[in-house]
Amino acid sequence: MSLSVSIPLALGLNSTTARADEGMWMPSQLPDIAAQLKAAGFRGKARDLAELAKPPMNAVVKVGGASGAFVSKDGLVLTNHHVAFGVIQYNSRPGRDLIQDGYIAADRAAELPANPDYRVLVTTGFDRITDRILAGASGKQGRAYFDAVDAATKAVVAECEREPGTRCSVANMYYGTDFYLVRQLELRDVRLVYAPPNAIGNYGGEVDNFVWPRHAGDFTLLRAYVGKDGKPADYSPDNVPYVPPAHLQVSTRNVKEGDFAMLAGYPGITFRHRMASEFANQIDCQLPSRVALYRTMIDVIEGTAAKDEAARVAYASQVRGLKNTLKRAQGELDGLRRSDAARVRREDEAAMFAWLDKQPEAAVTRADIAAAQAVLDAGVATRERDQLIGVIQSQTQLLRAAITVQRWANERTKPDAQRETGYQQRDEVLITGQLKQAQRRYAAQVEKALLTELLTQYQALPAAQRVAEFDAVFGTTPAQLKQKLDAMYAGTQFDVEANRLAAMQADRTTLASSNDTLLRTAAQLMPALLRLDEEAKASAGELLRLRPAYMRALIAYRKSQGRAVYPDANSTLRVSYGRISAMDPRDGVHYRPLTTVQGIVEKHTGEDPFDAPRPLLDAIAKGDFGTTAEPSLGTQTVNLLTNLDTTGGNSGSPVLDAQGKLIGLNFDSNWEAVSASWMYDPRFKRAIHVDMRYLRWLLAKVYPAPHLLEEMNLPAE
CA neighbor of 264 nearest in space, from 490, 612, 24? 24
Annotated catalytic residue: which of 651, 669, 675, 677? 651
Return the pLDDT at 563: 80
Annotated catalytic residue: which of 15, 32, 67, 82? 82
Q: How far is CA 211 from the centre of its chain?
A: 19
Return the pLDDT at 32: 86
As a whole number of Å, the CA-based R_g of the chain is 25
Based on the residue annotation, tell me whether 218 is a catalytic residue of this protein: yes
Q: How far apart are CA 116 and CA 188, in angstroms?
A: 8
CA dihedral 289, 649, 550, 179 (to 10 degrees): -140
Who's near 274: CB < 8 A, 6+ residues apart? 678
Return the pLDDT at 158: 95
Based on the residue annotation, tell me whether 651 is a catalytic residue of this protein: yes
Q: How far apart are CA 168 and CA 125, in angstroms?
A: 9
Based on the residue annotation, tell me whether 707 is a catalytic residue of this protein: no
Q: Locate all alpha helices (DSSP H) within 357-415, ordered by sequence.
A: 362-380, 383-394, 398-411
Return the pLDDT at 540: 96
Print burial letters for 375-388: b (CB count within 10 Å at least 16), e (below 16): bbeeeeebebbebb
Return the pLDDT at 159: 97
CA dihedral 101, 106, 108, 110 (to 10 degrees): -50
Who's near 96: CB < 8 A, 6+ residues apart? none
Per-residue pLDDT of 524-559, as tens digits, reads: 999 999 999 999 999 999 999 999 999 999 999 999
Return the pLDDT at 1: 35
Annotated catalytic residue: which of 218, 516, 645, 691? 218
Q: Which residues of the chain have pLDDT under 50?
A: 1-20
Per-residue pLDDT of 626-653, as tens digits, reads: 899 999 999 999 999 999 999 999 999 9
**Average pLDDT value for the chain:** 94
Return the pLDDT at 564: 73
CB 10 within 8 A of CB 555: yes
Return the pLDDT at 21: 73
3-class SS shares of the chain: helix, strand, coil, % to 5: 50, 15, 35
